């Protein structure tokens, strides 16, 4: 979470171990939900932020796609976060980027690969980190909120769970992690560094994604709201279902009990539900 809180001894040993901590962040071209313009994808930008927060890490940005005006502006958005260069693995639209990315990663051998959860364009299935992990044989941790520390080839991670909960995990490197929306928000992209940053184009073999051509894609329709179907036999039940207040199914009521007995019953329920820690 806060890399600057390491004591000096840990930092020194960390310097030896993590001087070579290579972090690759996979970034994609996002799409603004309202205007539809290309932008830096929100979750990928959070991933870059996560990498920049790591102490003594060498961060490289990796994008697979084509270089045109729109995607360049999005990539410069990432460069504007304070990185000198971005590697572009050149792939035409409609190509399967997983083989090219897997080849690039197995050549570069980064210790940690950070990716967003899913793309904001195209299929957006969120399969990419899983496919890469399966191909490279690396462990994968999804839904990351923070990287606490990296020591001796083991990373301690904080995973975001639903309902604002967190879980601490340890994973052996090299590993692939995907970033949750609960991770720290990305810093603003600055214009100057974005202009100065270099985009290094790297050619790669192309494999076409053939299945995608058979799909028909349309703007998302609003999903029909589920109707409340009341299967009641009598008119009274139907009326009650439509008009009455919500009632539990006959809860237990404890009257004339001492506070201790009442508290005990509540404690039993809390234990059953597993909300006490």
Partner 1 sequence: MSEIIRRDPRKEWIARNRLHPDHLSVLAELGEGSSAATEWMGPNGVVRRNPHAVGFIGPNGIKRIDRSGVQQGGHAATGTAEAKDSRRQVTIDDPAFLVAVVPDLPGGRLSSHDRDLLGLARQLADADGERPGAVLAVIFGSTNGEGFSEAGIDRLIALDGDDFDGYAPEARLAALAAVDGEFSPRHWLLPDSKLGGAELGRRLAARLRERPATGVWQLERDDACALGWRCTARGAAGTTDIQRTLPRIVLALAECAEPVSETRHAVQALALSQSLPPLLGRIDDLGQVAVDPAGVALAEAEFILSAGNGVKEWEGFHQAAKVLGATEGASRVAVDDGYMPRDRQVGATGTWVTARVYVAVGISGAIQHLQGIQSCEKVVAINLDPGCDMIKRADLAVIGDSASILASLVEMVQRLREERRDAA
Binders in 141-200 for partner 1, by CB under 8 A: 141-143, 156, 158-159, 161-172, 175
β-pair partners for 199: 86
Nearer to partner 1 (CB atom), residue 201 or residue 270: 270
The interface mask with partner 1, positions 229-258, x = CB under 8 A, is x-x-xxxxx-------xxxx--xxxxxxxx
* Strands, E assignment, 133-212: 140-151, 154-160, 166-172, 175-179, 198-203
Q: Is 127 in the site for partner 1 (CB under 8 A)?
A: yes
Q: How far is the CB of 201 from partner 1 (least distance, A)?
A: 25
CB closer to partner 1, 49 vs 120: 120
Least CB distance to partner 1 at residue 119 (A): 7
Check: CB of residue 214 under 8 Å from CB of residue 180: no
Backbone angles phi, psi at 81, to 5 degrees: -80, 0
Where on the phi/psi map is residue 17: left (φ > 0), alpha (ψ -120 to 50), or beta?
A: alpha
13-52 positions binding partner 1, by CB under 8 A: 31, 33
Asked if residue 140 binds partner 1 (CB under 8 A), the reply is: yes
Q: Are 101 and 26 in contact (CB under 8 A)?
A: yes
Which member of 218, 230, 242, 243 binds partner 1 (CB under 8 A)? 218
Distance CA 181, CA 43 (A): 6
Near partner 1 by CB under 8 A: residue from 139, 151, 193, 206: 139
Cis preceding linkage at 195, omega within 30? no
Q: Answer whether 243's CB lies under 8 Å from 125's CB.
A: no
Cα 42-45-50 angle, rounded to 5 deg: 130
The Cα–Cα gap between 44 and 38 comes to 13
Q: Phi and psi dihedrals of 141, rounded to 5?
A: -125, 130
* Least distance from partner 1 to the Cβ atom of residue 99, Å: 13
CB within 8 Å of 82: residues ≥ 6 apart = 52, 187, 190, 193
Asked if residue 277 binds partner 1 (CB under 8 A), the reply is yes
Query: Which is nearer to partner 1, 7 or 256 (by Cβ)?
Result: 256
Question: Minimum distance from CB of 260 to partner 1 (Å)?
Answer: 5
* Interface size with partner 1, residues (CB under 8 A): 82
Q: Which stretch binds partner 1 (CB under 8 A): 49-57, 105-113, 128-136, 195-203?
A: 128-136
Nearest distance in Å: CB 55, partner 1: 21
Among 7, 9, 205, 220, binds partner 1 (CB under 8 A): 220
CB of 213 to partner 1, least distance (A): 11
Binding test (CB under 8 A) with partner 1, winner from 3, 82, 122, 193: 122
**Which C-beta is closer to partner 1: that of 32 or that of 196?**
32
The yes or no reply on residue 83 touching partner 1 (CB under 8 A) is no
Reduce the DSSP state of residue 113 to 3 states and report it: strand
What is the C-alpha separation between 106 and 35, in angstroms, rounded? 37
Minimum distance from residue 205 beta carbon to partner 1 (Å): 20
């Amino acid at each position: 979470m806060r890399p600057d809180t390491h004591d000096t001894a840990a930092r020194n040993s960390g310097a030896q171990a993590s001087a070579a901590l290579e972090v690759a962040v996979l970034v994609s071209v996002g799409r603004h939900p309202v205007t539809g313009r290309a932008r830096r994808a929100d979750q990928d930008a959070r991933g870059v932020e996560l990498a920049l927060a790591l102490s003594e890490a060498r961060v490289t940005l990796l994008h697979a796609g084509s270089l045109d005006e729109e995607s360049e502006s999005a990539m410069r958005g990432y460069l504007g976060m304070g990185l000198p260069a971005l590697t572009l693995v050149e792939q035409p639209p409609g190509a399967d980027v997983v083989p090219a990315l897997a080849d690039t990663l197995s050549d570069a051998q980064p210790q940690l690969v950070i990716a967003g959860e899913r793309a904001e364009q195209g299929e957006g299935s969120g399969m990419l980190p899983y496919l890469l992990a399966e191909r490279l044989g690396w462990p994968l941790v999804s839904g990351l909120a923070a990287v606490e520390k990296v020591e001796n080839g083991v990373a301690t991670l904080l995973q975001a769970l639903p309902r604002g909960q967190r879980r601490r995990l340890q994973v052996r490197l090299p590993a692939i992690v995907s970033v949750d929306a609960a991770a720290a928000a990305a810093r603003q992209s600055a214009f100057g560094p974005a202009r100065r940053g270099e985009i290094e184009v790297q050619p790669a073999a192309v494999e076409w994604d053939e299945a995608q051509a058979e799909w028909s894609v349309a703007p998302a329709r609003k999903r029909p709201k589920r109707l409340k179907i009341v299967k009641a036999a009598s008119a009274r039940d139907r009326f009650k279902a439509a008009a009455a207040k919500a009632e539990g199914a006959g809860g237990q009521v404890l009257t004339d009990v001492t506070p201790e007995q009442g508290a005990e019953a509540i404690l039993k329920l809390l234990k059953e539900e597993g909300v006490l820690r």
